[in-house]
Structure formats: structure tokens, C-alpha cells
Amino acid sequence: MGKSESQMDIMEKSNKPGKHRWTATEIGLFVLLMLVSCALAGLVVLYTSAAKERSNASSVSRSTAGQLLQSSLNPVCTTADCVTAAARLLQNMDTSVKPCDNFYQYACGGWLERHVIPETSSRHSVFDILRDKLEIVLKGVLETESEQDRDAIRKAKVLYSSCMNEREAWNLEDTLATLTARFHKKVLLDMYVWTDDRDSRRHIIYIDQPSLGMPSRDYYLNDGNYKKVREAYLQFMVSIAKITREDRNLTQDDERLWEEMTQVLELETDIANATSPAEERQDVTVLYNKMTIGELQNTFNFNGFNWTRYIQGVLSCVSIDVLLEEEVVVYSSPYLEKMNDVLPKHSVRSAYRHDGASKMHRTLQQLTPANVPSQNYAELPHVAAHCRQGQQLESGVSKMPEPATGSINDLCPQTLYGTTAEDAWWRECVRYVQSSMENAVGALYVRETFAGESKQMVSDLIRKIQKAYVETLEELRWMDGPSKEKAREKAMAIKEHIGYPDHILQERNQKLDQEYAHLNFSEEHYFENILENLRCEAHKSLKKLREPVDPDMWIIGAAVVNAFYSPNRNQIVFPAGILQPPFFSKHQHQALNFGGIGMVIGHEITHGFDDNGRNFDKDGNMLNWWSNYSAEHFKEQSQCMVQQYGNFNWKLAGGQNVSGALSHITGVSVLSLFFRVWSLWLQVSGISTLGENIADNGGVRQAYKAYLKWVETEGEEPRLPGLDMDHKQLFFLNFAQVSERNAKFNLWQIKNKAISNRLTCIQVWCGAYRPEYASQSIKTDSHSPLEYRVFGSLQNFEAFSEAFQCPKGSAMNPELKCRVW
């Protein structure tokens, strides 16, 4: 074994001293050298202990750490927390890419390479991993029995075990009969009770276009993967019709059944066609149209429809009477106008069948636990991600006709979103119980995992970012003084909900049990439990009509990895589920906290001032508080972002659409294909993602400003081990590993449509999509794809380019920058 090079070096350099007599000068120099060496050694010892103290201090007291860190020694923090944070950040990165060329790839490339999208998922991100972990916690607490359980908790556990209990056999005929009699299904119209946009203290009836059986109108009107799903949908309707006929001992005529169901689909397609696409439903001031029921009857008299009877019919279940003078808000005038033409086109019989088939189909959707947020179909309003229930239906009805086998599978996530396996059943059960009993499950979750002191820390962070927003107003040239003052008032009036509602942990407070007083579950009857839930949810929502708005009500549960802004309440909500690393931890660097939860807070605050939120005042009333000058300029500033994001082409969705379409479109011209792809690309961003893009841009700017202020008073934090990055760069790195997504469609289903129109959002780290999911989410998600959210908001932010010294004209530092807030 040869010597290593370094050993060789030592050998060669260590000159052997020969015999030598020292002169007086040499002795003097030697003594001096010894003295200097001792001084240096002393300094090294001092420095090391100071650095150690600093590291310890950094995780204990920020202010002490801050003072210590003023030194220019550029220390590295080596506590366990710092090492863990650094390891996480490093693993996610791809340092072979230059940050100024593609910051998303730089920050997330490592993550993307290390992670394969699970077979059960259509998208995989750090958010999904967090959510998976949260569900494991919930599984644990829901499966743990305890003598001390109060009513609400006991009921949540019974509901969960009834879901897990698959022994039940249920009777389809009884079930459908019960459903029709007891539950209002929104087929041709959507009617709900929600806060009046123009008077945030009271509730009012809204009339809107219905959600569709499939995720968006494109599934009815376009080709490619959409067509494949549409065919499966038709097959599914035929299957259900067959089951129904067989159960009633009616004769079967397959050909006729197909013909009839095709007509039903035609009607539903006409309905889809009459609905306004999302991009035409962005301006709430245009959507809102208040009138009395009498006026409604005169204005939209399609086919002699009796509005009073319809509305009274819905409300009779909560014993509320309405008169012709009752006010309603029509949220979909263009749809109602178009329906005047659609209805006469179809025979009463087909309308009847549509109603029946669609009701059945939607009923089945409602009945499934998959009808709750999940990483696969979080944004999907409707169609059958509900295979399990469908399969249960098939097995429950042994007489299921042969040709129908497989049709339900075609409507499963596999076809819709490209997944290749189903989620574990317990996950479905956890999600179902979580969404049906948010406060009871929230109590279990918080007790299990949530650190109480986080509440105060997050509240302090909110103050800081609120302040940063107000200060940012001063930098804006496009807004005049009076409008800035109003904006300031609104920002300072934002109310916050952090973690969980206090009452859910108060043993003596009966509110939690009262919330579920009307629910009675049985472990053996999951299906009946679902019915019970549906009925209670409908009643709870409808009976609010005569009640004032409760300003303290929590709009979402605690066990949710998500954050929200409600314009009707001018309120931001950060449930316990999101207050964990890497979003937030009292032990991690403030650069990471500000880049993580700080950015989320800024994002939510900015929603109060995006293209939708800006229409509401500080009390949550839809009221124009803008001067003409400022309003005009707001539109101009926004237009810049519409164009910027409109230029991002999401190849994943486009590619999928092209290849998906090619296999189906022998008869379709290249030109029409081009237009289809073009319109898809346009959808990536354009108008419908504007609100989220504005919020992203504002959020990162405010969080950064607030962070710099924190550094000013507390001092720079030590570097993280192994990462050659300063505190500013760390902020942006964590931000990029974080970008945000919304819960609009979760709520669409769980709560009701009114809420969904105005609520936001959630954060996702680095993440990957399946192509099927990409082309679906491009149509239904109000957010830009993750990578473009990072691109767009950092391209516009000079401070980012300064932090990474991106040359002008590089990909991340273009000449043209857009800024609204």
C-alpha cells in the first residue's frame, strides 16, 4: 500500500533540522512568534465557544442570537434543527442548474428526481406528503377508543368505524327512494344559502348554475382524453339505468336504453354548454344580481318553471316559508337565459330521465367517502372518483349486467387523472370523517400534535406581514392617496383564525357536542350514516337563512394542511395542519419561516386585494371603495400579469392533450387540433389564474420585506451547514420549495358553492403532476402550475435577482417586470 499524497507532502516539507546555534535575534523572533501563536490560539478558542453559544442561542432566543450574530465572522449553525433543515433544503435542490436560469429546477430539481409519483396519485408534492402524514395521525386517533371520549368525539369514531366496516349490505331501491325524498340534488339549478355579498351580516338565497356531472364543461364538448371519459360516463349511466330497471323487474331493451341515455347525455351537454366557463365568472360584481322571487319568475320563466314552489320546496325541510317578496341573488343570469332555449328542445320525458339518471349518478358520488379532498382529485368537483362506492354498488347488486362491468372503472381516477392504483381504504375513511366532522376530528388532531405556543408566534408573524403590506402601499405609484388609505384600513381590519377554535378543546364547553347533537351513527350502517350526514349538512346550511352571520364561526377545520382568505368575512385562516415544518417551526430559521408560512400569510392577505377580493370592503361587503383612477390602473397592472403568465406554456398538459387527441382524432383537422392546444395553453394562466398570481407576487414581496425588517432588529442568522447561501438566498429557496394551490373545489363539494367562489388556498412544495391530471387541473384549478408560480413571482421581484446576482436579461431577471401590490 503506497503512501497517500498528503503523507508524501508532509514528509517532503518537514526539513530535518541540522545542528545549529541560535543567534540573539533568532531567539527574540522565536519568543515573539510564540506570543503571537498563543494569542491566535486564544482567539480560536474564544471564537469556537462564541459560535457554539450562538448556535444554541439561535434555537432558544432570537434576540440574543441576533446580537451575537452582528459579528462578521459568518458563523455556521450546527444544531440538530439547522442540520435537519439544511439537509431537507439540499436534498430538494439541483445545484447543476444555475439559479438565474431556472430557479424552480435549481430549488426543486433534486426533489423531482428523488420522487416517483405514487401509483395512487396524480400529483405528488411535499404538500401531499404532509397530508399523508396528517392522515396517519388521524387514523391513529380515530382508531383509539377511550372511556373519556365526549359525545362529538365518540360519534366521529363511530362514523369512522362504520366506514371501515364493509360488512353491510344495503338495498339500492330503498336507498334511492330515501335519497330522492329526503335530499335535494342540484341538477338543473343550484340553490344555496350564504352570506349576502352586499350585506355581510345577513344570509340570502343564491341561485346559480349547477356543477356538472363531469369535472368541467370541456369533458362534454372536447375530444381527446375528455372523450374517453365521456364514453365511460355514458356507459355508467346505462349501467345504472339497467340496475334500476332490473331491480324493479322491468323489461330490458339494451338498444333503447342506450338511445335514451344518449339523449340524456345530450341534454346534459346542452346544460354544460349553457353554463358559463370559469374565465367568464371572475367578476363578482357582474355575477351578482339581486331580485325578488316574483321578479325571478317574470325574468326567467323557462318552460313555465314555478320558482316559488321550487324554493319553498327546498326550504320546507327547515320549516322556512318564503313569499314572492323574498330576495334572492341570481349568480348566473346568462345560464338562466340560455336555459330558456335548452329546455323546450328536450322532451319532458328526457328531462325526466336526465333528472333521474343524473340524480342517481350524483347521489352515488355524494355517497362516497372519496367525495372529500384528496391529493388526486382535490380540485375535482364531481365525476366519479368514486370507484369504491361504484364497486360496492356492483357487488351490492349481484344482478349487475355484464356489459357494464368496467364502465365504472373507466370513470375512476385511473382514466381521469392517470393514477394506476387506488388509495388505501382507511385513507378514504379518514378523509370522509375529517370533512364531515371537522371540529370533532380537529380536536383529536390538535390534542395529538399541535404545539399551543405556535399560535402566538404565527399571530406575531401576521402582524409583521400586515405591516409590510401597508408599507408596500407607499411604494405604489399607480394608486392614489384616498384608495391607499382605504386599502390600509382593510388590511388592518383583517381578522385571523389560527390553529383551531378554542371551544373544541374546552371540556366543559358544550358547543362541540351540540354541533353533532342531531347525528346518530351506527357502526353497522355506514350507508345510513352518510344519509344522516347529508341531511344534517343540508339542514344546517339552509336554516341559516333566517339567522345572522356568526363572525366567529370557523370556515374550515383544524386538521387541514391549508390556509384561507374569505372576502365576505375579511378573514384569514391558518389551520393547525399547516403550522408545521417546513412551513413553520419555532425551531427553524426565520428565513425559512418567513419564506414558508410568511409567504402564505402574505398570499392570503393579498387575496383581499386581488381581482376578486378588491370588490369587498373591510367589513366584507361588496362595495366599491376605489377611485376611478386607482381602479383603472389596477386593471392595467393586472393585465401585465395576465400576459406574462399567458406566455407560459405548460408542455405537460399540452403534450398530453396532443397525444391523447391524436389517438382519437383521425377525422379532425390539424387546424382544429392547433386551436385546441392553443386554447389549452391560454388556459394555463390567462384570466382565471389572475387572482392567485397576484396573491403569489404580493405574498413573496411582503414576506421578504417583513423578513428584512426582522433581520434589521434581530441580526442575520447563522448560515446553514453545507449550504453556501446567505440568509436572503435561504428565504427564496424555501419560498420556491413552497408554492401555493387552492382548496376551491374541495369546498365546492364539502361546503357549498358560495364559499368556494371566494376562498383560497394552500401551499405546495416542489411537486410533480401526471399528464392526465395536468390537463384536468389546467381546466379546473385557479392556480398556475407550480413551476410557473415560482417563475412568475420571482421574475417580477428585483430583490430575488439581487440576492442571486442574476444578470439583466437572464431567464429569472427579464427586463419587463409586472407588479400589482
Residue in 82, 212, 479, 761 binding Zn ion, rule: CB under 5 A: 761
C-alpha cell at 51: 459560535
Instruction: Report how far residue 793's alpha carbon sits from residue 815's, in angstroms, rounded to the nearest whole number.
Output: 14
Instruction: Report how far residue 688's alpha carbon sits from residue 781's, in angstroms, rounded to the nearest whole number.
Output: 9
Tell me the closest approach of the beta carbon of residue 222 to Zn ion, in angstroms: 27
In this chain, which stretch among 30-38, 42-50, 137-145, 688-696 interacts with Zn ion, using CB under 5 A? 688-696
Tell me the closest approach of the beta carbon of residue 792 to Zn ion, in angstroms: 13
- Is 695 among the residues that bind Zn ion (CB under 5 A)? yes
Q: How would you classify the pairing of strands 123-125 and 767-769?
A: antiparallel
Q: Which residues pair with 573 in a beta bridge?
A: 497, 564
In this chain, which stretch among 124-132, 318-326, 695-703, 769-777 interacts with Zn ion, using CB under 5 A? 695-703
Q: At what angle do helices 438-449 and 126-142 cross, to 10 degrees?
A: 100
- Is 700 among the residues that bind Zn ion (CB under 5 A)? no
Q: What angle do CA 418, 423, 424 make, to 5 degrees?
A: 165
Please confirm, yes or no, whether 604 is among the known catalytic residues: yes
> Based on CB atoms, which residue is closest to Zn ion, 128 or 740?
740
CA distances from 395 to 243, 295, 387, 401, 414 (A): 12, 49, 12, 11, 20
Q: How many residues bind Zn ion (CB under 5 A)?
A: 4
In this chain, which stretch among 110-118, 358-366, 479-487, 760-768 interacts with Zn ion, using CB under 5 A? 760-768
> Based on CB atoms, which residue is closest to Zn ion, 223 or 692?
692
Please confirm, yes or no, whether 270 is among the known catalytic residues: no
Instruction: Report how far residue 567's alpha carbon sits from residue 152's, in angstroms, rounded to the nearest whole number.
Output: 30
In this chain, which stretch among 297-305, 369-377, 686-694, 770-778 interacts with Zn ion, using CB under 5 A? 686-694
> Based on CB atoms, which residue is closest to Zn ion, 365 or 763?
763
Contact between 236 and 361 under an 8 Å Cβ cutoff? The reply is yes
Instruction: Report how far residue 333's alpha carbon sits from residue 428's, in angstroms, rounded to the nearest whole number.
Output: 37
Instruction: Report how far residue 583's alpha carbon sits from residue 703's, in angstroms, rounded to the nearest whole number.
Output: 13
Contact between 104 and 736 under an 8 Å Cβ cutoff? The reply is yes
Give the count of beta carbons closer than 10 Å to the beta carbon of residue 166.
Answer: 12
Tell me the closest approach of the beta carbon of residue 817 to Zn ion, in angstroms: 21
Residue from 268, 604, 716, 787 carrying the catalytic annotation: 604
Contact between 334 and 276 under an 8 Å Cβ cutoff? The reply is yes
Binding-site string for Zn ion from residue 506 to residue 525, where x marks contact by CB under 5 A and - marks none? --------------------
Tell me the closest approach of the beta carbon of residue 752 to Zn ion, in angstroms: 19
In this chain, which stretch among 167-175, 424-432, 536-544, 690-698 interacts with Zn ion, using CB under 5 A? 690-698
- Is 229 among the residues that bind Zn ion (CB under 5 A)? no
> Based on CB atoms, which residue is closest to Zn ion, 51 or 126?
126
Residue from 260, 379, 696, 714 carrying the catalytic annotation: 696
Note if the bond before 761 is cis, omega within 30 degrees. Answer: yes
> Based on CB atoms, which residue is closest to Zn ion, 77 or 465?
465
Would you call 562 exposed, middle or buried from its count of C-beta atoms within 10 A (0-12, 13-18, 19+)? buried
Within 329-388, the residues that bind Zn ion by CB under 5 A are: none
C-alpha cell at 364: 352515488
Q: Which residues pair with 291 in a beta bridge?
A: 328
> Based on CB atoms, which residue is closest to Zn ion, 397 or 761?
761
Instruction: Report how far residue 711's alpha carbon sits from residue 696's, in angstroms, rounded to the nearest whole number.
Output: 22
Tell me the closest approach of the beta carbon of residue 650 to Zn ion, in angstroms: 18
Instruction: Report how far residue 539's alpha carbon sits from residue 9's, in angstroms, rounded to the nearest whole number.
Output: 85
> Based on CB atoms, which residue is closest to Zn ion, 93 or 761?
761
Tell me the closest approach of the beta carbon of residue 584 to Zn ion, in angstroms: 17
Tell me the closest approach of the beta carbon of residue 783 to Zn ion, in angstroms: 7
In this chain, which stretch among 206-214, 254-262, 388-396, 753-761 interacts with Zn ion, using CB under 5 A? 753-761
Residue in 58, 439, 760, 784 binding Zn ion, rule: CB under 5 A: 760
**Which residue's C-alpha cell is 369587498?**
616
Interface positions with Zn ion (CB under 5 A): 692, 695, 760-761
Q: Which residues belong to the active site?
A: 604, 696
